Structures are given as C-alpha cells and as structure tokens.
Chain A
Amino acid sequence: MLLDTTLLSRIQFGFTISFHILFPAFSIGLVLFIATMESIWLKTKNPLYLSICKFWTKVFALTFGMGVVSGVVMEFQLGTNWAGFTQAVGGVLGPLFTYEVMTAFFIEAGFLGVMLFGWDRVGPKLHYLATLLVVIGTTLSAYWIMSANTWMQHPVGYKQVNGVFKVADWMQVVFNPATFPRFIHMLLASYIAAGFVICSVSAYYLLQNRFVTFAKTCFSFTWWVLLVLIPLQIYVGDVTGVQVHANQPLKTAAMEGIWETQAGAPLVLFAIPDQKNQLNHWEVSIPHGAALFNTHQWNGILTGLKTVPIQNQPNVMPVFFGFRVMVGMGLLMLLQSIIAIYLRWKKRLYDTRWFLMSAVLSAPLGFIALWCGWITAEMGRQPWIVYGVLKTADAVSTVSLRDVMISFALIFIVYGIIFGYFYFYFLHKTLHKGPSDIKEQEEPHQPFQYMPSSFVEHK
C-alpha cells in the first residue's frame, strides 16, 4: 500500500510538531528579551523600556498560548499514534515528560497569568520575578524535551527486558552527555530566531517612521546580541556535529552525502544525492572538508552510507538538503549581523533603506534554520525511532487508516486556519498597532479593565 498508518502517522507527527516548535522556540527567545528589558527598566526606570516590555509581552502572550495548546496535541498523539513506542520506552521518556510538567509547565502556567495580567496587581519586583520564573520554566522545559529527544538519538543508561526499555541509570538518561550541546544549540537557535523577528519588526517601524525611539532601541540592542550569538551558535553547531558523527555516523554520512567509507572525506558543497544508485550527481566539493568538520582531523575517517543495506539508510535527500539550508541560513544571518554592526559604527544603521528592507524580510530566517536543523536530526535518525534499537515501523499504533486520515485531515484544516492564518493575522494586527504610549489608557475592549485595582490589597 502506498499510504499506510505508519507513513500517515509520521506525516501527521511531522506536521503537528513543525507547527508546534515555532511557538516554543519564539517564546523561549522572546521571554528572555522581555526579561532583559524589564531588568533594564527596573534599573533605569526609563519608561521606554517598560513600553518595550509591555509591547513584546502582548506578542509573547499570543505565541505562548499557541505553544501550550499545540503541545497538548503532541502529548496525546504519542499515545494515539505511537502506542508501540509508548509501550517500549514509556518508562524511560514518561518520567522526563512528567518532570517537564512538574518543573516547567506549572511554573509557566502559574506565573504567566501574573506576567500578562498582573501589571497592576503586583509590584514591579514581583512582576519581574514572575517574568524570570517564566524564563526559567521555558528553559527547563526545553531541557527535558531535549534530553528525551537525545535519548532517542543516542540511547544510554538502559536495559532491555522483553522488548521493554528499563532504566539502569537515571543520571545517564537525564544528564546524557550528548544532550548538552544539542540543548545549547536549540536555545541559541530560539534566541536567534526571536532576535530576527524583533529586528524585522523594528526595521518595519523605522521604514514607516513610526515609534522611532522604540524601534531604534530594539534594533540596535538585538543586532549587538546577534553578533555575539550567531558565531557562538556556529561553534556549538560544530561541537554538535562532531558528537553526531561519534554517535550516529550514518546521519553524518547522509548530511555530508558520503556513500563510501573513507579517510579525508570531501565537503560536498552541492550535489543531487541519488539513493537508488547510491551516488551523488553534479557534486561540487572541497577535499578533506567533511573529515575536518566532523572529526577535526585532516584525514579523519567517515563511515559511508553503503556500510548498511539501503533499507537501513536514512532518506538522504531531506537530510542532505536540510543540513545545507540550515548552514546557509546561519551564514546569511551572520553576514547580516556583521553588516548591521558595520552600519551602526558608520552611524547609518537606522536610515540605510536597503538594509532595513532586508531586515524586514529576514524575520523567518531563524525559523527556517531551526526547522531544517530538526529535519536533519529527525529524518537522519530514520529508520530508527530510537537509534539502533527500535524501528519506527514497530512503534506505530494498531489503529485504522481511516481514523488516522480523519485525524490528519482535521488537524491539517484546524492548524491551517488557526496557526496558518489567524495567528499571523493577530500577530500582524498587534505589530501594526505598535507599542502604545504607556500613559495611554488600555483599549476599551480589554476585559481586564473590569478588574479594578480597588480589589487589590497591595502589600
């Protein structure tokens, strides 16, 4: 059969998680920015920073809400569509998810309300504390999820009894050495993706000559941060790459388009991988490059894809191009941040039209890089769901194709409408309206005006 429950379940999972990841990634970056601005405000008492906080908090609220609800879908989907996976590894990954809920979700949910609606109900210090707790919550959440995912990439500290995975050493599972570079890589990716959105919106205001002080502050600050973060990310990416090669040589082979095991493998800049014939067409490469990047040795040995039969190889095309697009986006973003700081130095950052235009357009760059990175990581792991020990095909639920079709159709339509249209519609509306003068009254349709502060006993 062309379409079976496994393939459709994979497509559904890929679809839901691709939408989902945008929101937590943006939230993780944005809330750190907000917390930074709020600390500057607490220090300087300059109302400009408060208006920056309040404005981005509106965007954050919208985004975070999307992440919460799409995350619930992810959780239950693990059971509905991946029962074989749950049954085998539930005892390993379930505790990680439970810790995520206990250490992150409840903190976020509890203090998000304070962060969003509590400006008049708690003092500035307590509000700042709430923001910090949301930062901690989102970061911890990312850690638990990265540790769960890393265990699927590089399972450690377990024993297998009758097909069920049991944990022999929790320290190894939770503090899997492979988790750290990947976790930092993901955090930086989130910060950078959010940074580019902030720059894009600021550039949009500068081009329109609206909210100029606000925009200049956000614009300049974020470019400086990006100039530090992007090179750091490239370095962390390199560390991650070396570790991927050590743990999952076939993924590296697919990323680099290496078919034969060889010493001093070339860096393939461009090629069309042909999995059927196990070779590359139109290859353009730099000698020794791939060996140097992945092993940090001139003549390092890379395992070729051909070492395993074709059915045990990952699908090379998406992994190969996903990786290239990610790196390409990274270099493009680096170039932009260098230009930005050059212009800043020449005092032309705020009125160089072509650069502002390019900044507006670059809002999705960070997210494209992030998506492509995940495509590389997840499709590069195939055909395994837990690398080397559990096949994806054995992990799927016994459900009818009809049910999966219904669910996917419903999810496709709902996500398309909600995230594809309305999220961007309301995001655009919020951005278009821009930051309000903080002295100005809140809009009349804001329900929270009905909670007069006379009901608050300030402590």
Chain B
Amino acid sequence: MDILALSWCGIIAFGVIMYVILGGFDLGIGMMSIFFKDERERDLLVSAILPVWDGNQTWLVFGGAALYGAFPVAFSAILPLMYIPILMMVVALLFRGVSFEFRLKAIKTKRFWEICIFLGSLFATIAQGLILGTFVQGFNLSANAGAVDQWFNPFGIACAIALIFGYVLLGANFLIIKTAGKLQEKSYAVSGKIQYFILVGFVMVSVWSPFLDHAIMERWFNPGNMLYLAILPMVTMLLLITHWVAIKKKYEYVPFWSAIGMFLMCYLGFIISSYPYIVPRQITYMAAAADKSSLLFMLVGVCGMLPPLLYYTYYSYKIFRGKVVQIGY
C-alpha cells in the first residue's frame, strides 16, 4: 500500500519537474521576449517555443490530474487554500496561450499580444513561486477561508523572484541552443548576468529555509545526515561553476543542461525538506492517498503510457530541432 502511494509521489514529482524544466524555459523565454527591441528577433524567440509550449504545459495538467486521482485529500486541501494564486496562474497561462495563437494572426496588434505573452509568463511564474513558497513553509489548514498571508509573505515573494530568475536562466540557455549570431550572443549575455542572481538566490534560500521550520533545520543539520546532505549544495556549486565556465567558453549545450542540473538539485532539496508530507507538515502522502484500487489502476496506465509518451515528446522535439534562423541573417 505504502509503496504504491510512494510510487505515485514519485510519478507526480516527475511530472512536476518535467513541467518546471520544460514549462520553465518557455515561460523564461516569454518573460525575456519583451526586452528584445527588434521585431525579427522576437519572431525568432517565439518560433523557438511555438511548436512545444503546448506539450510542455501538458505536464502541468498531468501533475494536476495525477494529484487529483492519487491524492484527492491533498488536492482538495491545497487548492482552496491556494485559491487566488492558482486562479492567477491558470488565467495567466490562459492569456499567454491565446496570445501565442493571436500573435500569429495579428499584424497591427502584434505588439499588444507580445506584451500579453510577457505578462502572462510573468504572472504565471510569480503565482508558481508563491505556491512553491507555501509548500516550502508548510500549510496552515486551520486558517480562515480566504486568508492571504498563507501564500503572500516575504518568503513566498522571495521564491517568486528566485523562480523568475531561474526560468529566465533556463530560457536564455535554451535560446543559446536554438539561435545563432547576434541573438545567440545576447542570450549568452543574459545567461551570464542571471547566473550571479542565481548564486545569490541559492545562498539566500539555503540560509533562510532552515529557519522557517524546526523540522527542516533538524533534518539538514542533524549530524547523522549532514555529511550526506552536504553533497547536495556541493554539487549545486559545481554545476554553477560549470555553467559559468560554459558561458565564458561559449559552449552551446552545457549551460542548458547544467541549469537543469541546478533545478534538479533544488528540487531534491525541497523533497528532502518535505518528505513524507504531501501537504507540507500537515498531511503525509500515506494519509492523503486514494484507495489502493485507484492507485493500481492508474499505475497500469502510467507504466503502459509513459514510455511511448516520453518517446514522442522526444520525437516532436527532434522534428523541430535545429536553430531558428532568419533568412539572410
């Protein structure tokens, strides 16, 4: 029973990190796009994500549906508490999604839709950051309905800012792969600057989060664990150095992959801090799990569908591989 619930934690965690990485780079590009002055450049930026953003977002839908099915108690506890940020996220994603479609068809209002893509990406990221902040800090289930301080607090805001930088880093590094020439130069420059903010973010979160909750402190600074857990920040630092070198040496693929590595490390840190809670420090994954038959029924589907699904996700990326280049650039 518990192994079944635990495997569902794993599957949902996988769905979420897939969304954070894939959705993250396209949100990042969405947030960057507005700062490129040349319309042709913005065309290229949008072209780089146009065939894939829908698929990327599907991982979010997957995570949501799986949480709904596997841990209905968690889904029904979290979402009403996160009413406003969730609403903000879905409306922002909606705005952004339609703006991609409308921008393709618009001529006079093209600039307007670009602003919408920017705002949609920005607000979706902020909402996700606020939700992340609440997950790290832990929920308060007995709070009054409509309590705002649950998700709107200094740590949440810090998470939102950190996530903006994180997504822009992913976005810029994806653009390094997808572009050439002047645009690639600009992407290197953005990534080169953002990495320092990322460093600041890492230090800040590492210092701040142990003080949020006694249990987090206990887990990380317990003499028995400390040595093993120290590997995590060390690897993160190594990745950051790799990233720094890669930007300097103008490698194309290393920055993207090392940024993904950094995200994975942060995510791992988050999981270590939260385990075994699915609604942090309130409900454990065992207590929130659906009936065994539901978990098993879904697991059959995941085992059958996930491999082909990952394959054609890879395949559709492969079809649209290569650089987006303006003719006569």
Q: Which residues of A contact B (CB under 8 A)?
A: 61-62, 65-66, 68-73, 75-81, 83-84, 86-103, 105-107, 109-114, 116-118, 121-122, 164, 166-168, 170, 397-400, 402-403, 406-407, 410-411, 414, 418, 422-423, 426, 429-430, 445-452, 455-456
Which residues of chain A are within 8 angstroms of B91 by Cβ–Cβ distance?
73, 410-411, 414
B325 within 8 A of A: yes
Contact with A along B294-324 (1 / 0, CB 8 A): 1001100110011001001101100111111
CA distance A382 to B64 in the complex (A): 27
CB distance from B8 to the nearest CB of A (A): 10
Whether the pair A114, B319 counts as a contact (CB closer than 8 A) is yes
CA distance A62 to B297 in the complex (A): 35
Which residues of chain B are within 8 angstroms of A92 by Cβ–Cβ distance?
294
- In the complex, the chain B residue whose C-beta lies closest to that of A425 is B102
Which residues of chain A are within 8 angstroms of B84 by Cβ–Cβ distance?
403, 406-407
Known: A94-B65, A399-B145, A451-B322. A76 touches B101 (CB 8 A): no
Which residues of chain A are within 8 angstroms of B144 by Cβ–Cβ distance?
400
Interface size class of B (residues with CB under 8 A): 35 or more
CA distance A203 to B98 in the complex (A): 28
Which residues of chain A are within 8 angstroms of B52 by Cβ–Cβ distance?
113
B107 within 8 A of A: yes
The 10 closest A-B pairs by CB, nearest first: A94-B69, A90-B72, A400-B146, A79-B79, A113-B51, A91-B290, A455-B322, A83-B76, A69-B97, A109-B55
Chain B contact residues, majority secondary structure: helix
B86 within 8 A of A: yes
Known: A99-B301, A167-B297. A76 touches B86 (CB 8 A): yes
CB distance from B32 to the nearest CB of A (A): 16
CA distance A76 to B85 in the complex (A): 11
Which residues of chain A are within 8 angstroms of B320 by Cβ–Cβ distance?
113, 117, 121, 451
Contact with A along B37-65 (1 / 0, CB 8 A): 00010011011001110110110111011
List 12 additional contacts besides A79-B64, A83-B76, A109-B55; criterion CB under 8 Å: A65-B101, A68-B57, A84-B76, A90-B69, A93-B68, A95-B297, A102-B301, A111-B316, A168-B293, A447-B50, A451-B322, A452-B325
Whether the pair A106, B50 counts as a contact (CB closer than 8 A) is no
Whether the pair B87, A80 counts as a contact (CB closer than 8 A) is yes
Whether the pair A102, B101 counts as a contact (CB closer than 8 A) is no
Which residues of chain B are within 8 angstroms of A86 by Cβ–Cβ distance?
68, 72, 75-76, 79
Known: A84-B76, A90-B76. A410 touches B319 (CB 8 A): no
B218 within 8 A of A: no
CB distance from B197 to the nearest CB of A (A): 29
CA distance A393 to B159 in the complex (A): 37
Whether the pair B80, A399 counts as a contact (CB closer than 8 A) is yes
- In the complex, the chain B residue whose C-beta lies closest to that of A91 is B290
Specify which of A94, A121, A166, A399 lies most central, judged by the most chain B CB atoms within 10 Å of its CB. A94
CA distance A79 to B313 in the complex (A): 28
Q: Which of B2-49 contact A (CB under 8 A)?
A: 40, 43-44, 46-47
Contact with A along B88-120 (1 / 0, CB 8 A): 011101110110111011110010000000000
Whether the pair A69, B94 counts as a contact (CB closer than 8 A) is yes
Specify which of A91, A114, A398, A448 lies most central, judged by the most chain B CB atoms within 10 Å of its CB. A91
Whether the pair B323, A455 counts as a contact (CB closer than 8 A) is yes
Whether the pair B290, A113 counts as a contact (CB closer than 8 A) is no
Within 8 Å by CB of B86, from A80, A88, A114, A448, lies A80
Can you sample 16 A-B contacts with CB below 8 Å? A75-B65, A76-B79, A78-B68, A84-B76, A90-B75, A91-B290, A99-B301, A110-B309, A110-B313, A117-B320, A398-B145, A402-B146, A429-B105, A447-B104, A451-B324, A452-B325
B327 within 8 A of A: yes
B83 within 8 A of A: yes
CA distance A119 to B52 in the complex (A): 16
Known: A62-B105, A75-B61, A406-B84. A95 touches B294 (CB 8 A): yes
CA distance A9 to B67 in the complex (A): 22
CA distance A66 to B107 in the complex (A): 20
B326 within 8 A of A: yes
CB distance from B286 to the nearest CB of A (A): 15
Whether the pair A113, B79 counts as a contact (CB closer than 8 A) is no
- In the complex, the chain A residue whose C-beta lies closest to that of B106 is A426
CA distance A81 to B84 in the complex (A): 11
Which residues of chain B are within 8 angstroms of A411 by Cβ–Cβ distance?
87, 91
Within 8 Å by CB of B94, from A72, A107, A422, lies A72
Which residues of chain A are within 8 angstroms of B69 by Cβ–Cβ distance?
90-91, 93-98
B168 within 8 A of A: no
B264 within 8 A of A: no
CA distance A103 to B298 in the complex (A): 12
B185 within 8 A of A: no
Known: A73-B91, A167-B297, A452-B327. A90 touches B60 (CB 8 A): no
Which residues of chain B are within 8 angstroms of A122 by Cβ–Cβ distance?
319
Whether the pair B70, A94 counts as a contact (CB closer than 8 A) is yes
Within 8 Å by CB of B55, from A96, A110, A448, lies A110
Whether the pair B58, A106 counts as a contact (CB closer than 8 A) is yes
B66 within 8 A of A: yes
Whether the pair B54, A112 counts as a contact (CB closer than 8 A) is yes
Within 8 Å by CB of B306, from A97, A102, A450, lies A102
Which residues of chain B are within 8 angstroms of A414 by Cβ–Cβ distance?
91, 94-95
CB distance from B130 to the nearest CB of A (A): 15
Within 8 Å by CB of B305, from A69, A102, A446, lies A102
Whether the pair A83, B83 counts as a contact (CB closer than 8 A) is no
Which residues of chain B are within 8 angstroms of A402 by Cβ–Cβ distance?
146
Known: A86-B72, A451-B47. A68 touches B305 (CB 8 A): no
- In the complex, the chain B residue whose C-beta lies closest to that of A443 is B107
Which residues of chain A are within 8 angstroms of B58 by Cβ–Cβ distance?
101, 105-106, 109
CA distance A116 to B101 in the complex (A): 11
Contact with A along B118-152 (1 / 0, CB 8 A): 00000000000000000000000000111000000
Whether the pair B51, A117 counts as a contact (CB closer than 8 A) is yes
CA distance A418 to B91 in the complex (A): 11
Within 8 Å by CB of B65, from A77, A88, A97, lies A97
CA distance A66 to B321 in the complex (A): 26
Whether the pair B72, A68 counts as a contact (CB closer than 8 A) is no
Known: A79-B76, A452-B327. A410 touches B87 (CB 8 A): yes
Known: A117-B51, A450-B44. A87 touches B327 (CB 8 A): no
CA distance A79 to B77 in the complex (A): 8
Within 8 Å by CB of A101, from B62, B89, B315, B323, lies B62
